[in-house]
Amino acid sequence: MKMNYNFRKIFSVAFLAIAGCSMSVAQQAELGNNATLDDLISYALSNKIEIKQALIDKEIGEREIASALSGWFPQINANGSLSHSMQLPTTNFNGNNVALGQRNTSALTFQADQALISPQLFQASKAAKYVRQQNNLNEESTKINTVVDVSKAYYDILTSEEQIKIINENITRLERQHTEANARYEVGLVDKTDFKRAQISLNNAKADLKSASENRKYKYDYLKMLLAIPTHQPLSLSFVNQSMESNILLDTTELLQIANRVEFKQLENIKDIQRLNTQYQKWNYLPKVSAYANYALNYRNNKFSDLYSDNFPGSNVGLTLSLPIFTGTKRIQEIKKSELQEERIALDVQNLENQISTEYSAAMAGYRANMNEWRNSKDNMELSEEVYNTIKLQYDAGVKTYLELMTAETDLKTSQLNYLNSLYAVLSSKLDIQKALGTVEIN
């Protein structure tokens, strides 16, 4: 019957383990099939290593709190002893030397102590909520950084995908122009110069495609690292309805609220903990009071084999009080030191406020500058397309030279890539502003 029970238990555990692994694989497989930005963020918030570590830190914090507060529970101890006296102590009684005690003694004592007044436990009780708050803020900070990093990585990959599309379109045009230049050369309309220029441009475009493809591979690996996914595992992304232009707008009139920043909350939490530490140093002037009760089993006999034949029990209850009177000014110095640390943290808060204000100003300036650059790049791209189309028609009609066509082609490609880079810069600076404002959504 026992074997059947153990077999069922082992089978159940194995089944749950296999099911858990299957669910995990299914979850990653689902992510790997056309994952959207929201899918990536949701997955990262559940699987990123730093977030898992933050959750473990929260659990560790709960254990530390429970450990510190366990001092309020009765502390029960057992102590045992066994001794043999080589020589018994003697005393003079009515002019005679009399040996005291017996050669073999043994004792087993049980004692329970209950703290009633303890500065250390007072501090632990009040510090519990600050420790929990600190761990929650650490988790929040990690999640904010995760959302920003994953979003930037996604948009960076999206930019690379668009760049590769542009380069492929450029290669298609250049191959067509290379064929046309070769045909013109074959019929004797032009010399080898146009044909060679077309070949050079085509070779450069293919080299650009190779470089862009390698950079894209790294960007995918970086995103996998953020998601805690092995680099060898395939990952495909969905860019459907992900218009980069539709995500660039931001309310620039929103005022900075420093209290919304998680870094400010963390520093305020440290300030509260330090204030509590100062109070603890003052509580050290209080006495320590505890109650105790014990019960002892005492054995003694001159003959070792008969040591445990008789028991002489004893028990008592009482209170203990410990009141430090003079500690060489240590308590005074500790109080002063803690108060100075409070002042230092207050200066840290002031410095952080200045840093956040500067960070917000820099992010806003970068966003506005990148928006201006994006508008300019967009206009240049549209103009370059018009110029290229016009010169292409004129070249086909024999009005423009091949060199002018290649110049227009280069300008078009450059303007398209500049447009994409400026668009990514706008999206990146928008995320920086949201982070500076403390408005990054992590739910």
- Summarised one tens digit per residue, pLDDT across range 388-434 is 999 989 988 888 888 888 899 999 999 999 999 999 999 999 999 99
Whether pLDDT at 139 is above 90:
yes
pLDDT of residue 177: 85
pLDDT of residue 3: 38
- Provide the residue ranges of all domains of the chain, joining segments of one domain with +: 22-73+118-287+326-437, 75-117+288-322
Residue 194: which residues within 8 A CB-CB, separation 6 or more?
181, 184, 185, 402
pLDDT of residue 360: 94
| Residue 242's pLDDT band (cuts 50, 70, 90) | low
Whether pLDDT at 23 is above 80:
no
Q: How far apart are CA 296 and CA 59, in angstroms?
A: 40
pLDDT of residue 52: 94
| pTM, full prediction | 0.81
Class level of CATH domain 22-73+118-287+326-437? mainly alpha
pLDDT of residue 17: 39
pLDDT of residue 26: 38
| Residue 250's pLDDT band (cuts 50, 70, 90) | confident
Q: Which residue has the tokens 């005074």?
A: 332
> What is the mean pLDDT of the segment spanning 287-299?
95
Average pLDDT, the chain: 87
Q: How far apart are CA 112 and CA 317, in angstroms?
A: 9
pLDDT more than 70, % of the chain: 91
Least confident range from 155-159, 185-189, 303-307: namely 185-189
| Residue 9's pLDDT band (cuts 50, 70, 90) | very low
Whether pLDDT at 20 is above 50:
no
Answer yes or no: same fold for 22-73+118-287+326-437 and 75-117+288-322.
Answer: no
> What is the mean pLDDT of the segment spanning 176-204?
81
| Residue 32's pLDDT band (cuts 50, 70, 90) | low
pLDDT of residue 27: 40
CATH fold for the domain made of 75-117+288-322: Outer membrane efflux proteins (OEP) (2.20.200)
pLDDT of residue 13: 37
Residue type, 403: L
> What is the mean pLDDT of the segment spanning 36-55?
92
Least confident range from 237-246, 276-285, 363-372: namely 237-246
